[in-house]
Amino acid sequence: MKPQYKITGLLLILNLIVTTVSATEKLYDDEIKAGFVYNFIKIVKPVKSLTENYNLCIVGESSIRNVLPELNKQRVHGVNIKTIEVDLNSDISICDSLFLGQVANRKTLDKLLGYAENNSILTMSDVALNGNLDVIFYIKQ
């Protein structure tokens, strides 16, 4: 076998290994972020009383979006967590907390954030929504 074919083969194998490791690290990062979300909702007591579930609403695109439904196996404040995927036009009055991914429509996002603030909905994100802000809390006592 010619040396250039050996080198090309080794580079392809190395690329495959690096790609696999990168994908694993990304999943691990997303699991850590989901752990933070769980701890935030566990620590912050909801304003409204909970009867059935703690509704964690998910809006927008984020790599963590696929990991958050794992929280459905957990309990907080005496009830089960229920993840609900919503869009920008959904009624978020059912949400006890809101996780925001990347959202294209800024005007509707601002309206959604205003509603969340006025109704004391714990709001979190893993994207820079305001230029440099990655986690947002709206808590009123």
pLDDT for 66-111, tens place per residue? 899 999 999 999 999 999 998 888 888 899 999 988 888 878 888 8
pLDDT band at 26 (very low <50, low <70, confident <90, very high): low
Tell me the pLDDT of the chain averaged across its residues.
76
Quick one: CA dihedral 57, 61, 131, 114, positive or negative? negative
pLDDT band at 128 (very low <50, low <70, confident <90, very high): low
Q: Let me know: does 63 contact 92? Beta carbons within 8 Å.
A: no
* Domains, the chain, with CATH or none: 3-125 (3.40.50)
Question: Which carries the bigger pLDDT value, residue 4 or residue 130?
Answer: 130
- Which two structure tokens, joined as six digits, stand for 79? 């009830």
Q: Let me know: does 68 contact 93? Beta carbons within 8 Å.
A: no
* Element spanning 121, H or E: none
Mean pLDDT along residues 12-25:
48
The answer to whether residue 114 scores a pLDDT higher than 60 is yes
- Which two structure tokens, joined as six digits, stand for 70? 């794992």
